[in-house]
Every structure is written in structure tokens, then in C-alpha cells.
């Protein structure tokens, strides 16, 4: 996918719409406890940097889930809209919110040590522990 390609999407009820420019067609799966509590399973997302524009912002509620990140959701239907790093303007948008499939490819699983034993993703992906993920951000 060309990183200049803008994709559209919305929440379940349509109160929040967005356009975003994913950096690639790569999908990340996060197995951390917070993501699994947030959505009931792994968080499948596309990294969009700060190239995200929302319509219906009055319907977005933000939850500060940690010192470094926040999670947004539609206050009308509860749809999870984004995970955002506060200091880097990095948005991770749930794959299921985009209007089209656009040939997504699962490429990376993070917080792999927190993945429960009852499921397994069959794709051959890069697998990072939580420590390895945090290490990537502290080396910048």
C-alpha cells in the first residue's frame, strides 16, 4: 500500500468517521493485558502516524490508559477508535474500522509473553516481548 493512500472508516453507529494514511499494509497484533481487556482479545491495528482526521470529534471520549498512551472510543456506540502515543502523535487504528480490506498482512505480534495459551495466530510474524517494544522507543 502506498503510504500516501488515504483510507476512510467509521465507528459502528457512524457518529465518528475518519480518514487515515496507514504507513503500510502491515497489521500488528498486540497481546498485552490492557489491549485484551479493552477489546476482549488481541488488538489488530494499522500504524498511521499522525495522518488521521476525525469527523464527529464531539462523540469521541479519550481514556488515558498510561503515562505514554491514550485510547479513544465513540461515546455513542462504544467502538474502539484508536490507541495513540501521547508524545509521538502515533495513532494505531483498529483494522476492522476501515471501509475496505486493502490487502492487509499480519506482520508483527507484540507483548507476545502476555498472550494467553488458549489461542494462537498461525501467521509467521515477527514476535516481540513488551521489553523489546519499549526498548525500540527508548533508543530513538
pLDDT in tens, 9-68: 999 999 999 999 999 999 999 999 999 999 999 999 999 988 899 999 999 999 999 998
Residue among 65, 61, 113, 70 nearest 91 (CA): 70
Q: Are 90 and 83 in contact (CB under 8 A)?
A: no
More confident of the two residues 6 and 138: 6
pLDDT for 113 equals: 97
- Give residue 136's pLDDT band: very low, low, confident or very high (50, 70, 90): confident
Kindly list the structural domains of the chain, giving each domain's residue range(s) and its CATH number in brackets, ordered by start: 7-138 (2.170.150.70)
Q: Are 19 and 8 in contact (CB under 8 A)?
A: yes
DSSP state of 31: -
Longest C-alpha distance within the chain, in Å?
Answer: 40
pLDDT for 134 equals: 85
Tell me: the pLDDT tens digits for 101-134? 768 999 999 999 999 999 999 889 999 999 999 8
For residue 70, count other CB atoms closer than 10 A to its CB: 14
- Is residue 63 classed as helix, strand or coil in its secondary structure? strand
DSSP state of 59: G
Provide the CA 76 distance to its chain's centre, in angstroms.
Answer: 20
Amino acid at each position: 500500500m502506498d503510504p500516501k493512500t488515504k483510507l476512510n472508516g467509521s465507528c459502528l453507529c457512524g457518529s465518528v468517521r475518519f480518514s487515515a494514511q496507514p504507513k503500510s499494509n502491515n497489521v500488528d497484533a498486540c497481546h498485552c493485558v490492557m489491549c485484551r481487556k479493552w477489546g476482549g482479545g488481541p488488538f489488530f491495528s494499522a500504524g498511521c502516524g499522525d495522518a488521521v482526521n476525525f469527523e464527529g470529534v464531539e462523540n469521541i471520549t479519550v481514556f488515558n490508559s498510561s503515562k505514554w498512551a491514550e485510547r479513544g472510543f465513540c461515546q455513542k456506540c462504544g467502538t474502539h477508535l484508536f490507541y495513540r502515543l501521547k508524545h509521538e502523535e502515533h495513532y494505531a487504528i483498529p483494522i476492522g474500522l476501515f471501509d475496505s480490506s486493502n490487502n492487509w498482512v499480519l506482520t508483527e505480534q507484540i507483548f507476545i509473553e502476555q498472550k494467553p495459551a488458549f489461542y494462537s495466530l498461525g501467521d509467521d510474524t515477527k514476535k516481540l516481548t513488551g521489553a523489546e517494544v519499549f526498548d525500540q522507543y527508548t533508543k530513538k
